[in-house]
Amino acid sequence: MSDIDNLAISTIRLLAVDQVAAANSGHPGAPLGLAQVAHIIFKNMIQNPASPDWLNKDRFVLSNGHSVALLYSLLHLAGYPLSIEDLKQFRHINSKTPGHPEAETPGIDVTTGPLGQGICNAVGLALAQEHIAARFNKPGFEISNNYTYCILGDGCMMEGVASEACSLAGHLKLSKLIAFYDDNHISIDGDTNVAFTEDVNKRYEAYGWEVLWVKDGMHDYEGITKAIEQAKKSDKPTLIRVTTIIGYGSKMQGTHSVHGAPLKADDIVQLKTHLGFDPSKSFVVPEEVYSYYKSFADSGAAAEAKWSAMLKEYSSQYPELGAELKRRIAGELPADLESILPTFTAADKAVATRKLSEGVISKLYDAVPELIGGSADLTGSNLTRAPDAVDFQPPSTGLGDYSGRYIRFGVREHGMAAICNGISAYGANFISFGATFMNFVSYAVGAVRLSALSGHHVLYVATHDSIGLGEDGPTHQPIETLTHLRSIPNLSVWRPADGNETSAAYLVALKNKHTPSVLAFSRQNLPQLAGSSIAKASKGGYVVHGSEAPVAAVVATGSEVGIAVEAAELLAKEGVNINVISLPDWFTFDAQPKDYKLSIFPDGLPVMSFEVLSTNGWSKYAHEHFGLDRFGISGKGPDVYKYFEFTGEGVAKRVKKVVDFYKGTEVKSRLNTAL
Amino acid sequence: MSDIDNLAISTIRLLAVDQVAAANSGHPGAPLGLAQVAHIIFKNMIQNPASPDWLNKDRFVLSNGHSVALLYSLLHLAGYPLSIEDLKQFRHINSKTPGHPEAETPGIDVTTGPLGQGICNAVGLALAQEHIAARFNKPGFEISNNYTYCILGDGCMMEGVASEACSLAGHLKLSKLIAFYDDNHISIDGDTNVAFTEDVNKRYEAYGWEVLWVKDGMHDYEGITKAIEQAKKSDKPTLIRVTTIIGYGSKMQGTHSVHGAPLKADDIVQLKTHLGFDPSKSFVVPEEVYSYYKSFADSGAAAEAKWSAMLKEYSSQYPELGAELKRRIAGELPADLESILPTFTAADKAVATRKLSEGVISKLYDAVPELIGGSADLTGSNLTRAPDAVDFQPPSTGLGDYSGRYIRFGVREHGMAAICNGISAYGANFISFGATFMNFVSYAVGAVRLSALSGHHVLYVATHDSIGLGEDGPTHQPIETLTHLRSIPNLSVWRPADGNETSAAYLVALKNKHTPSVLAFSRQNLPQLAGSSIAKASKGGYVVHGSEAPVAAVVATGSEVGIAVEAAELLAKEGVNINVISLPDWFTFDAQPKDYKLSIFPDGLPVMSFEVLSTNGWSKYAHEHFGLDRFGISGKGPDVYKYFEFTGEGVAKRVKKVVDFYKGTEVKSRLNTAL
Ligand SMILES: [Ca+2]
Ligand SMILES: [Ca+2]
């Protein structure tokens, strides 16, 4: 190791320590142990801090996101717009340096912190890269060849989500993924010996990874450097285990007390002194360290310039591919998507929305080449595979190739969602999708929440969306799931009632670049509604069945809308006129102007919600509820609906009670509120 | 293999096939492949079908729960109260034979179906057994020595939750756990080669398991039998990989088309003919098969009788332990728990509820020996370890022993929850608990939902329950979590506001034997309220701060109750009298008589909810809301609260708006409804 590398590493260490000290909060331990590894990674990375969105830059994911002070130090040195003043504001309100990495900060590729997610995102980033390379690279034009680097700690290693994604990464032979395992033998409960004594190397070998081990991660600079070289030569993803000492250089090094609390003042003094820094000063960066890092940035800028020139030439030789790439880099959807989406009339036959979804996906597959995804081993049930889809597989399997866009995720719902986040984070306008039964979206919500927090363009296809799935019974029938998902900020949760609404759901979901969407579909057939249209459903909610002078309204979603219309017709025969409101996506509806919303839910109209899931949340729109606040039962779908009186008659009966109850009282719209 | 074994296996196969055919729905593939394995397991198991709750019986978990027709066949033969008529009602509404195993059926130890859960439950069952043995066994008195058998398939193998629990099981050396991996190379998407090519044996060896492999699972009867013998000798948990053929004997054997759909009629005919059965008959059990299985039941009954006699003698030699065991088997809590719970007055100092929880746990640790659990590597933050707790560890580690009741789960939230379900399912009155940050309960909800569905007595300790956690920022700050959990049927979700409410939460949670509870606790200090008491809080909701002729009410939970009281005091100075309602657990409150609930939320009183999380769901009680329908921010906790105006002033300002808005209008209680 040269003197300048040594000085840079010391600088990184102390910047991290100073941030945590200034905030009086944070995690100094991992940055002290990892500064050398991270410095070597950044030395190896080809990136241009002036151009954080460059498609072919190397990616970096800090999966142990609590070590973020390390990352801020590196981003500052690398030349990203993160000043020393910003570092001083670490963990302060509205600073550019929050307590965990957030992708809004330039240079941060993915938001991390929840353990295990980052390494899965890295798998997604590496998968996206392989796909871009397979689609666009041509002889003499290596449009895509970037690496994805990742650091993960013991916590990530223990998380099941990481196991899922890493097993799949091994299967997929994502050879440009280089992950460093910070093996410091410490987690929050103390020595990892209390809970984590498995043979990690052997496990990753079992997954089909290349596994290298640098046993003296605190001193073996050459070993780390060589390991990266070796990783680049492998045809597998590589795990470089680096045995480190947490809090290296602190008086408390090697203990868990250095994990999540600032170093004491005297400890900082001895550390700075030992590293040759003035202990009376903080946030010090020697000029030569800036210059050194400037040289990396200059190389990166030169590399990007070369790449851009190549792209120009490429576009003239391959105009179609060039145009596609340009469009995708610009973040524009293909033109005129509306026109390819199926539309329906009431004369069309009843079809399950999962089947209607298959129809839409089949249209989109060719039209939207940035759409990539698959199912967690439920392809035949989720119906997510376009007929002419090619599987994303290592060509050596003979089952597909990397230009394929259908991903066989295996029974790995959480890993699937986290990988989808990584694919979306890659850029190139990627829209990723993952499918499972709606009840098992719950397995994945740790990642779904991060889709929403980060604004990843991910679609979750969630079929078998109610007790209507029938015989599989209560272990598979969602009850709480929709309420849960609707409570996550920045998440669209569609539950279309028919073909037009299914097309609308996809249309809005594709257009909402920074809002992920859950698309809930029925197992069972649903009638095509006379009152639906793509335009109306695109508002998130509308009157699908109106009456003259209605005395009440039923608001429903998905499979219940048709039943509600049936109830309205039964009631009309008895002279009770009601409206039926279809509300396929609360998120989209809530964003409409208030007068539109009040036109759907006006004062004076008692409203009953009807959805065969938890009623929790429906009071927001409705005064009364008909739903399922208990677990379901096993039986044929129609029998289960009848058992709970989820029928036209059952709805009509309850509406009459509601009408009687509110007769002569002042009924305020639930949307007419003070706050 | 003897003729009778052969005949029994054929009988099991055909009973399963006939069930699926009768239901015209279900999964015949795995039962056909696994009948031999399952028969051998049942031959080995010591159980008394007349006494399904016998503490020391061997346990069996079908982790690939979709194979349930296999299990029903076995339970019928074994002599559990499941008749041929019941088998004919497979997957019919209100039958005893729903589409996945449900623990209500006698002989079914845990509800399974959601993939990966069962093997984790098996880990919990084996853990519970080790603990009972360590606590109660004495020389000459082997009170506990039962085995836990489990079958899992490729789906379970791919799930991260299983990886988590199996890694921990290896660390814990749970040697009485014997798991069979049904290696049939098929999952729903087809050949497992499309997504799952890892080396499973190597992975389980890496976890510290004994791994055996029976390569011809369709014919090698002796191999399977011997593998069980070998497993019993190991000091590790054992994985017996059995390579099988899905749908064995069907014309479609070895393909995924035999996984989840009934066999065709002609296929059933050829299968029955081939197995020597009359193809014109269904649900046939030869008398000799009944006799054969009767002999297993007789052995089991004799074993239980011997055990009961031993327990009698044990109780006289070890009266204290004997009494404890008797009490626990009877399902009774220790007497007089109320008296040991801490109580507080307003004069007591402000304390974080997580700290108050630690105080309660410390009291309970000695008083309630069936309480066992720990944290997912956040012990020092969750504060879940009683000062005199002993770790549950293999004695060889020197870190504890199996009589210990503090479990170091590692960073494995989902596995933790699923293991807790298994511990609770063991019986012996076990109350298990698992702790993490509230935001990461979301990682575990696949298992939390099953706690609720099965009525497992599990406590989830969820600290850092809001943006009040501060600097860790939005990746760690829960928003949707409470709404989500409150939407799960049969789940108590406590968010106590102070010491008395914390004691009440534990008291109710301990007494609710068949309802799991989430206990949400603050990171930050909260004042002791003048108006709280254990008795009042035990109703789930009450007026904590009343006023003469209130013009509005604020309903709040946890950390927001004290702020609401502050707001009430500010408003009182301006002549605006309001009530403050504390609603620590919706589930408990909702179960109160309607007149009590209406006394808290009477007609005429506009109510504003105040909780610094998603407002979704609060319309059930409140007309207006003050909460957080966006992600949080990183900063010091008090700064974050101020930023969003979550202060006495901020609340008071909004209450005044609410009072103005509803002045002169007819305000109906949200609980005064038609349905
Ligand atoms: Ca560590
Ligand atoms: Ca299989």
Residue A301 has pLDDT above 90, yes or no: yes
For residue B499, the SS3 value is helix
- Check if the beta carbon of residue A384 is closer than 8 Å to that of residue A358: yes
Q: Nearest-5° angle of CA A241, CA A245, CA A246?
A: 105
- CB within 8 Å: B631 and A65: no
- Averaged pLDDT for residues B191-213: 98
Counting beta carbons within 10 angstroms of the beta carbon of residue B388, is it exposed (0 to 12), middle (13 to 18) or buried (19 or more)?
exposed
**Ligand lying nearest the CA atom of residue A157:** 1
Q: How far is B436 from chain A (nearest CA, A)?
A: 12
- Check if the beta carbon of residue A441 is closer than 8 Å to that of residue A518: yes
Kindly give the distance from the C-alpha atom of residue A267 to the centroid of ligand 1, in angstroms, as a whole number: 21
The closest CB to that of A160, out of B193, B415, B619, belongs to B415
Four-residue CA torsion sign, B341, B334, B419, A420: negative
- CB within 8 Å: A380 and B92: no
- What CATH number belongs to B3-301? 3.40.50.970
Show residues of chain A in contact with B490, CB under 8 Å: 630-631
- Check if the beta carbon of residue B517 is closer than 8 Å to that of residue B451: no
Q: Find tokens 């009086």 and name the residue.
A: A24
pLDDT score at B425: 98
**Top-level CATH class of B337-526?**
alpha beta
The rounded distance, in Å, linking the Cα atoms of A429 and A417 is 17
DSSP state for residue A470 in the 8-state scheme: -
Where are the domains positioned within chain B? Answer: 3-301, 337-526, 540-662
- Of chain B, the end-to-end C-alpha distance in Å amounts to 62
Residue A1 has pLDDT above 90, yes or no: no
Counting beta carbons within 10 angstroms of the beta carbon of residue B455, is it exposed (0 to 12), middle (13 to 18) or buried (19 or more)?
middle
Percentage of chain A beyond pLDDT 70 is 100
pLDDT score at A156: 98
**Top-level CATH class of B540-662?**
alpha beta
pTM of the model: 0.98
The rounded distance, in Å, linking the Cα atoms of A454 and A444 is 16
The rounded distance, in Å, linking the Cα atoms of A519 and A303 is 41
Identity of the residue numbered B213: W
Q: How far is A203 from chain B (nearest CA, A)?
A: 5
Confidence of residue A316 (pLDDT cuts 50, 70, 90): very high
Phi and psi dihedrals of A331, rounded to 5?
A: 75, 25
pLDDT score at B289: 98
Q: Give A130-181 pLDDT, tens digit per residue.
A: 999 999 999 999 999 999 999 999 999 999 999 999 999 999 999 999 999 9
Which residues of A are annotated as catalytic?
Answer: 413
Least reliable range by pLDDT among A482-496, B159-173, B251-265, B421-435: B251-265
Give Cα separations from A525 to A244, A366, B578, B590 (angstroms): 58, 26, 51, 36
- CB within 8 Å: A154 and B411: yes
**Ligand lying nearest the CA atom of residue A188:** 1
- Averaged pLDDT for residues A590-612: 98
- Averaged pLDDT for residues A441-449: 98
Note whether B3-301 and B337-526 share their fold: yes
The closest CB to that of B633, out of A94, A196, A623, belongs to A94
Kindly give the distance from the C-alpha atom of residue A183 to the centroid of ligand 1, in angstroms, as a whole number: 6
Q: Give B158-181 pLDDT, tens digit per residue.
A: 999 999 999 999 999 999 999 999
* Extended beta strands in A387-541, E state: 406-408, 431-437, 458-463, 492-494, 517-520, 525-526
Q: Which of B534, B532, B542 is nearest to B339 (CA)?
A: B534
The rounded distance, in Å, linking the Cα atoms of A149 and A71 is 13
Phi and psi dihedrals of A144, rounded to 5?
A: -130, 125
Annotated binding-site positions of A for Mg(2+) = 154, 184, 186
Pairing mode, strands A525-526 and A351-352: antiparallel
Show residues of chain A in contact with B111, CB under 8 Å: 475
- Averaged pLDDT for residues A547-553: 96
Percentage of chain B beyond pLDDT 70 is 100
The residues near B412 (Cβ < 8 Å, ≥ 6 apart) are: A158, A159, A160, A195, B164, B165, B167, B168, B376
For residue A464, the SS3 value is coil
Kindly give the distance from the C-alpha atom of residue A152 to the centroid of ligand 1, in angstroms, as a whole number: 9
Q: Nearest-5° angle of CA A371, CA A377, CA A379?
A: 60
Using only C-alpha atoms, what is the Rg of chain B? 28
The closest CB to that of A100, out of B188, B207, B472, belongs to B472
User: Is B154 assigned to a binding site?
Assistant: yes
Q: Give A54-102 pLDDT, tens digit per residue.
A: 999 999 999 999 999 999 999 999 999 999 999 999 999 999 999 999 9
Q: Which of A15, A229, A124 is nearest to A451 (CA)?
A: A124
Residue B264 has pLDDT above 90, yes or no: yes
The rounded distance, in Å, linking the Cα atoms of B101 and A478 is 17
Which residues of B are annotated as catalytic?
Answer: 413
Phi and psi dihedrals of A303, rounded to 5?
A: -65, -40
The rounded distance, in Å, linking the Cα atoms of A13 and A73 is 8
- Select from A67, A152, A197 the residue whose CB has the most chain B CBs within 10 Å, as the one to mutate to test that interface: A197
Q: Give A110-123 pLDDT, tens digit per residue.
A: 999 999 999 999 99
Show residues of chain A in contact with B640, CB under 8 Å: 93
- CB within 8 Å: A442 and B439: no
What angle do helix axes A438-454 and A413-425 make, rounded to 10 degrees? 30
Q: Give A207-229 pLDDT, tens digit per residue.
A: 999 999 999 999 999 999 999 99
Give Cα separations from B629 to A570, A585, B523, B546, B617 (angstroms): 39, 16, 21, 29, 12
**Within a 13 Å sphere around the CA of A264, how many CA atoms are in the beta-carbon half?**
7
The rounded distance, in Å, linking the Cα atoms of B378 and A296 is 39
Q: Which of B506, B523, B386, B517 is nearest to B463 (CA)?
A: B523
Confidence of residue B537 (pLDDT cuts 50, 70, 90): very high
Q: Give B539-591 pLDDT, tens digit per residue.
A: 999 999 999 999 999 999 999 999 999 999 999 999 999 999 999 999 999 99
Q: Give A375-392 pLDDT, tens digit per residue.
A: 999 999 999 999 999 999
User: At CB < 8 A and 24+ separation, what contacts does A89-92 make?
Assistant: A90/A19, A90/A20, A90/A22, A90/A23, A90/A26, A91/A23, A91/A25, A91/A26, A91/B471, A91/B473, A91/B634, A91/B635, A91/B636, A92/A23, A92/B634, A92/B635, A92/B636, A92/B639
Average pLDDT, chain A: 97
> Residues, chain B, total?
675
Q: Give B375-388 pLDDT, tens digit per residue.
A: 999 999 999 999 99
- Averaged pLDDT for residues A309-326: 98
- Check if the beta carbon of residue A627 is closer than 8 Å to that of residue A619: no
* Extended beta strands in A379-514, E state: 406-408, 431-437, 458-463, 492-494
- CB within 8 Å: A446 and B450: no
Q: Find tokens 């990783």 and name the residue.
A: A231
Q: Find tokens 């550390």 and name the residue.
A: A271
CA B566 from chain centre, in angstroms, equals 38
- CB within 8 Å: B377 and A412: no
Identity of the residue numbered B236: K
Q: Find tokens 């009525």 and name the residue.
A: B455
Kindly give the distance from the C-alpha atom of residue A276 to the centroid of ligand 1, in angstroms, as a whole number: 27
pLDDT score at B632: 98
- Check if the beta carbon of residue B577 is closer than 8 Å to that of residue B550: yes
The rounded distance, in Å, linking the Cα atoms of B599 and A534 is 47
Using only C-alpha atoms, what is the Rg of chain A? 28
- Averaged pLDDT for residues A285-296: 98
Q: Find tokens 């109306």 and name the residue.
A: A536
Confidence of residue B1 (pLDDT cuts 50, 70, 90): confident
Show residues of chain A in contact with B672, CB under 8 Å: none
Kindly give the distance from the C-alpha atom of residue B156 to the centroid of ligand 2, in angstroms, as a whole number: 9
Pairing mode, strands B542-545 and B578-582: antiparallel
Both tokens of A342, joined, read 């199926």
CA B580 from chain centre, in angstroms, equals 34
The rounded distance, in Å, linking the Cα atoms of B664 and B666 is 7
Q: How far is B15 from chain A (nearest CA, A)?
A: 18
